[in-house]
Structure 1
């Protein structure tokens, strides 16, 4: 039943993408053989109640903090103008995804160039889906959407189904029929997994899903070349106890892609349609997302992100940087002063006491893919565009304490 519902949801998304006849389909950008800009952005466009995001995006001219944030994050995307972008923390709603593209991205924000994305992909998320178990071991199985205990007992934290979901927008065609989702993959089915077996009961271990949201493999058609856009948003390695259940899950959510790109390790993997295995040898890919893991600092379990950044199959020779991150670390101090990592790589503006600003968001292509240029959208305070990132709690603040998000857009121009 669950697989049938997921398949139906994907078919709805596919029909939306293919609604225009092929002869009238929008043309892809020219010269895909030169370079393509891939990006990831956790834009915090999640809302406290189900349906609220759609309502707000349908009425873009209303002046309130919610719409101002939506206009601001749209402007960030327009300023960065990626060809393919993963959006993290966008409540699951195919209609909301369309409204954001049409009412915000395709309309200039403060003179920024409008961005039109004729292709998009959405699919269900594990967030806010009741597990039927007491996953936080507080003595109660919470079945009432809308509160934190319910979120703690869901397959992925969310106070309603789909909160904190994902969307991908693309100027190039997405092969929806060949797309793979891994929402239902069981954590126990990963060999050598890091499940804290002394915390979760045997029955809970049987149903636990690995992905806190979902993992997607989206084939992007760049002319005659297909690039697999491998996207996810692992859970933060915090908000737990000494069992480190979230840290362990974050580690294995990241490990999933490390295994998926290695043909000799991916045999155990199955997608939501039952197809097994990962990428074939030599297939091009880009891994992207808010991985919630820093190579040097923070609360990661067993250096989780190094499963990707130290991976010989991945080009991680250099990371995108920004001057704004360096300035922020210096001005904010606190935990930032004790960090081992270079602040120029930071992509998230977190609490100064702990964990401080971190390198949490990544665009990682296959080894051999040339990174022509890259960057993090984090302006210094003297830059007029600083109004789009700001400082927590200032006059520019929106619904989450920032004018946009506590994360920054990360991009890379790649030549395949």
Structure 2
């Protein structure tokens, strides 16, 4: 009996709660998110804090959070959470492609300077970036940031072509980045477990383009990036792929091949069913499964859940409790 009790206690000690949440903490201009955090009266931010304090993830990947040069808004938000009893001393964010000017006509509409002509769609630099908050140390010097990766450098890419030439011309093809926001691999050192890798991203919606299907193809390849990464990856540390893929394998627009392959990948688990994770406008695009949390096969999934917080975001928060699969 004592041995069984010790085994249960050890398993509980080695359980970590990982979450992902597209928080939609996006404002109309730079500095406005920080303003709203500091004022302390914003109902969306209050709802965001409520759901995080309720779920209490050990590590959470956030999408849709405005980025600034010194990460001031993220630190202010984390400090606010700490005052509510949820302390994340370890934080990571980096500049997304969103809002970074290219000086080129990426969307092919004959005009320069559109929000869609930036490396990622954004009305200002840093609009709708990503972040990681953690109770445990983030190995900052071992983070892999693939945000600058050129689309053409992805093996097997499906960049749009027109009349035998790259859409937008050769200069656009040689400049166009893959990530609309970013692709990161963030290692976190979890006590009694060791390094845990968060592979997180936020892909472009596969809509708002023309017959060339630039966004649909980009969305597919942003998801396919992880298939290529896993082909090359020989790291045995447990991991999870998590974030907003912005494509549903069975509903809505988009090319489902990459997300379908990812869901069936032998190195991944898919503990969630096909229920929608986002409540979009009806009837189009409607409710879709666009957010994912896929633990690697090195984990045993103890529990998992999805929490809707409509006052905070159209997207649900996804969480898993995982422990190493080895005894």
Q: Same fold (TM over 0.5)?
A: yes
Select the residue among 153, 178, 191 that pairs with 2:117.
153
Matched, 1:73 2:48: yes
Measured after TM superposition, the shift of residue 302 of structure 1 is 4.1
Select the residue among 92, 97, 122 that pairs with 2:93.
122
1:221-256, Cα deviation, whole Å (9 max, x unpaired): 112511110011010111111211111111111111
Distance 2:83 2:13 in 1: 28
Distance 1:221 1:32, change over 3 A: farther
Distance 1:262 1:32, change over 3 A: farther
Given that 2:248 and 2:256 are in contact with CA atoms closer than 8 Å, whether structure 1 keeps it comes out as no
Partner of 1:319: 272
Partner of 1:296: 250
Measured after TM superposition, the shift of residue 192 of structure 1 is 1.8
Measured after TM superposition, the shift of residue 304 of structure 1 is 2.9
Given that 1:293 and 1:304 are in contact with CA atoms closer than 8 Å, whether structure 2 keeps it comes out as no
Aligned residues: 308
Partner of 1:273: none
Partner of 2:301: 371
Partner of 1:35: 15
> Secondary structure, in 3 states, of the residue corresponding to 1:98?
helix
Measured after TM superposition, the shift of residue 71 of structure 1 is 0.8
Measured after TM superposition, the shift of residue 106 of structure 1 is 1.8
Select the residue among 203, 214, 220 that pairs with 1:245.
214
Measured after TM superposition, the shift of residue 81 of structure 1 is 0.9
1:153-184, Cα deviation, whole Å (9 max, x unpaired): 11100000110101110011110011111111
1:340-373, Cα deviation, whole Å (9 max, x unpaired): xx5xx21100111112111111111112411111
Partner of 2:138: 174
Matches within 5 A, 1:389-404: 389=310, 403-404=311-312
In the alignment, structure 2 segments of 5+ residues that lack a partner are 1-9
Distance 1:31 1:57, change over 3 A: farther
Distance 1:238 1:315 in 2: 28
Distance 1:188 1:411 in 2: 34
> Secondary structure, in 3 states, of the residue corresponding to 2:225?
helix
Segment of structure 1 superposing worse, 299-308 or 127-136 = 299-308
Given that 1:231 and 1:287 are in contact with CA atoms closer than 8 Å, whether structure 2 keeps it comes out as yes
Distance 1:232 1:131 in 2: 21
TM-score normalised by the chain length of structure 1: 0.71
Partner of 2:78: 101
Given that 1:250 and 1:304 are in contact with CA atoms closer than 8 Å, whether structure 2 keeps it comes out as no
RMSD of the alignment, in Å?
Answer: 1.6
Select the residue among 187, 191, 199 that pairs with 1:219.
187
**Which runs of structure 1 show a deviation greater than 3 angstroms over 4 or more consecutive aligned residues?**
30-33
> Secondary structure, in 3 states, of the residue corresponding to 2:278?
coil
Partner of 1:47: 27
> Secondary structure, in 3 states, of the residue corresponding to 1:261?
helix
Measured after TM superposition, the shift of residue 58 of structure 1 is 2.0
In the alignment, structure 1 segments of 5+ residues that lack a partner are 1-29, 109-113, 143-149, 264-278, 321-341, 379-387, 390-402
Measured after TM superposition, the shift of residue 315 of structure 1 is 1.2
Measured after TM superposition, the shift of residue 32 of structure 1 is 7.8
Given that 2:238 and 2:298 are in contact with CA atoms closer than 8 Å, whether structure 1 keeps it comes out as no
> Secondary structure, in 3 states, of the residue corresponding to 2:77?
helix
Distance 1:415 1:72 in 2: 29
